[in-house]
Structure 1
Amino acid sequence: MVEKDKTIINLMNRLKTFFEMSSVEFVDYWDGDLCAIGLKRQERLVYISTYAYLKEENLKYDYSLEIDRLVETQKLNIIKDVQGINEVELISTLRQFLCLTTK
């Protein structure tokens, strides 16, 4: 994986302290985007980006909830796109969509 922006690295480290992440794969379908990462569990994928908020005092996140059907259809099915949420909202969404358990 290409080295990511500190906003993504910090988020990944915090997620590892909140959740049991052994069943979650960090995927990087966006090598050129240093401010994006994907979290995948089974066929569920969450694309997270901080790019639009790097210069803001309070960091926010954009995300897409997707069902990964690349093998079958060569495309991702986007369920929901959200822009400009805070970390608390993002963590809640991740917990629910990926069915994560807390530590």
Structure 2
Amino acid sequence: MATKSSHEVQSRRREKRTGRENLLGHGEETKPRSRNLGEIVAKYRKSKDASSLAMSAKNKLVQRQEKLGKINNQTEELEGNSEDYASLANELLRKIEKRKWWQI
């Protein structure tokens, strides 16, 4: 009976893994590492100044309002186009209903 090398065993294990394991890693490798308070504060700290936080929130609010305005305009345009299409389709249907079968 032939023995398998560790390389062959590892390659077979990789083949047996699911798609999620291949993408994210295997088992213990996906566990989050612990971070200390200093690392967390350094990553998520933006500014301690209240006025700059308020200004940033205001800018984001203005951007959202602009986006909603654009979406509202697009919605109104689509509504108008759909009404035009519906009236054109009804007009075409009336014309076709008036025709006789030999005129088609």
Structure with the bigger percentage of helix: 2
Rg larger for: 2
TM-score grouping bracket, smaller chain normalisation: under 0.3
After TM superposition, the score normalised by the length of structure 1 is: 0.20
Structure with the bigger RCO (C-alpha within 8 Å, sep 6+) is 1
After TM superposition, the score normalised by the length of structure 2 is: 0.20
